[in-house]
Structure 1
Amino acid sequence: MTQQANLDTATKGLDPPLAVVDLDSFDANARSMVDRANGRPIRVASKSIRVRYLLERALAMPGYAGVMSYSLREALWLVAQWRTGPLADTDILVAYPTTDHSALRELAADTHALRATSIVVDSTEHLDLIDRALGIDHPPIRVCLELDASWRPLPGIHVGTRRSPIRTARQATRLAAEIVRRPGFSLVGIMSYEGQIAGLGDAPPGQRLRGSIIHWMQGRSGPELIRRRSATVAAVRAVTPLEFVNGGGTGSLELTSSDPSVTEVAAGSGLLAPGLFDGYRNFQPRPAALFALPVVRRPAAGIATLFSGGYIASGTATADRQPLPVFPEGVKLLGLEGAGEVQTPVVGKAADTLRLGDRVWLRHAKAGELAERFQEYHLIRGDRIERTVPTYRGEGVNFG
């Protein structure tokens, strides 16, 4: 059977809109990422999954250890879910600073969460905020210093994400010394996210020139970061021991794992392989997450209109952030309308074969954001549903 036939057969008793994850593809992607990580353990980026069962599935596989959370409140929720059992000792890194006073108070009051959780900081202002939220006599909070991983080839040119102001070994050492000096804090790690490599494909479909420019940039940015990160880690280790040095993302596993200063890598999107991950030269993950929308109108020849579908990915407001129609082959979004809040027209020769109630299968541009649209994912293997599991939304939680 074709993949479309498998999808349709597995879900024939369900009404769309619906979302599925192909377990064979998910598992194959997980194994491939372990191979690409070259022996470095992979910390699972939860924002790219947002389904507790799939996080647990990945963490049960050899080569995976720990979670990179996107919210302190999410980390506290995961700690509560895993308080007993095989994941009770899971280490969770909150990869973004928090200003949530009530969540900080919950953390400080929970000895288990204190042991399991560390929070990213990049300034003394973050330390001050925690002190104000908890009082200066609070129990030790595990913190991780974030190093800016962007590329700056010339003054005024910034290539990469706008995250930490800590860029040099000197700046990192100064902050590390302040963390060590202040009561109530324990510096346990360093992280850096090279978004200009990990999150930017160097072979975007139909854009050869753009791909060549990105490939050239990444070939220079990577070595510069390895030198600077290695120097920073050595300088901070002279101030205090570190439990981990985290780097990378799905798109840079080979590069990041080649850095001798890095002890672990982070990845998540590669497990589900959304549309934005079709454009990399060094790896081709298998699309694992798809969603189906029903045809509800036939407004004209060559056009079928689907219900809902405006699941636009975060980031730049460009065409590559729209959903990608997959099946039936040959359908595409209508350029002047795109994917809409309540309707999404598709065009192409295959659109003429669609009737009311038929399904069109699509992929989201990013990995985790699809879970915010659905209460549950149907996990399929071949032409059958193996199980149905709730997303974060289905479990009644939302972490922003």
Structure 2
Amino acid sequence: MSTEDCDIIAQAPVQTTLAAIFFSMELSRSTWLITSLSPGDGEKMSKRTLPAGDLAGLLSLLQRLSEKARARTGESYPFVSIQEAGLDGFWIHRALEQEGIDSNIVDPASVATSRRRRRAKTDRLDGETLLRTLLAYKRGDPRICAMVKPPSPEEEDRRRNSRERRVLIGERVRLINRIKGLLFCHGIRDFQPLKADRRARFDALITAAGELLPPHLRAEIGRMLDRIELILQHVKANEATRDAMIATPPSVEASAGGAANLMMFRGVGPDFAEILWSEGLYRRFDNRRQLAAYAGLAPTPWQSGNVSREQGVSQAGNPRLRTIMVQLSWFWLLHQPDSALTRWFRERTKAGGRSKPTIVAMARKLLIALWKFVHDGVVIEGAVMKRA
């Protein structure tokens, strides 16, 4: 083979011997861009646009692609798809699987991109990149990207309660800060909107100048108090649902009892237990590295030649699980002073070590320990359990 022939092969489009019709979906609020590659089509990627949400149109397009491939080659081919995890969630993935399509969802941050300072980025180029990534992945290169394991509808719905509570608490905090800010402008500093006598105290409020509150301000704050009281009702209902979800009696059997098993440890309350279980510990992981990566607590080294340093955790995983683990780690130091993890933290920080990176490292160790406890029954060394 001549050098010229080698150059032609090196510059040729992606070669594939996989007997399937591959297509990628670049999804947006207004349109879907479908990029496909069919056998016998001269390795030409075709692109078609559909209105966003037009699942019937997508299935019709796939039917036409299948008929054209059959007309060219005389054979029928299965479909293999790829899309990025994003705004549309997983409903498209489930719909495609119901049609017998091999659907794959990729973490968009894991797809390799050009390192040029100013790289071109369009939906057309993104669709081609996704398709080439899918081809490489199906050829057997598992590290070309990180595929997402979609949760089941039941698993996805299980997380809604704790996430709703986070939203409710955030709304309550914003309203309280707004009320206090408005009253502070009139010299009123001691009003507490969450106290049971808030209405009576609000009616009796006077400014620092000894005057009544202006009528429009009083009406505005009154409406905000109405919203706070409604939020308090929703929080109470949400917590009742949480208590019912974690009411399963604890069990020494692996993974039985779920969140209730987590509450056996001193310092782990119902909020911690619900979030930990629904956001990650219900899953099965092959090893501790997978678990740490899922939570975004895996270390990220930087090594090149003689340079070797640690960049900190990846922060590429579940942000809620990562945040709650750091918070729980501080509580663990307080409520589990004699545990092996607490002793490890004290030893690392007693000689002037930095507490912030150390607590993050402890969060990773604690998450792995809790995972081993709920799935394998391995008790954390030195941990104190609550009394029955």
| TM bracket, shorter-chain basis | under 0.3
Say which one has the larger Rg. 2
Which structure's relative contact order is higher, taking Cα pairs within 8 Å and 6+ residues apart?
A: 1
Higher helix share: 2
TM-score with structure 2 setting the length: 0.26
TM-score, with structure 1 as normaliser = 0.25
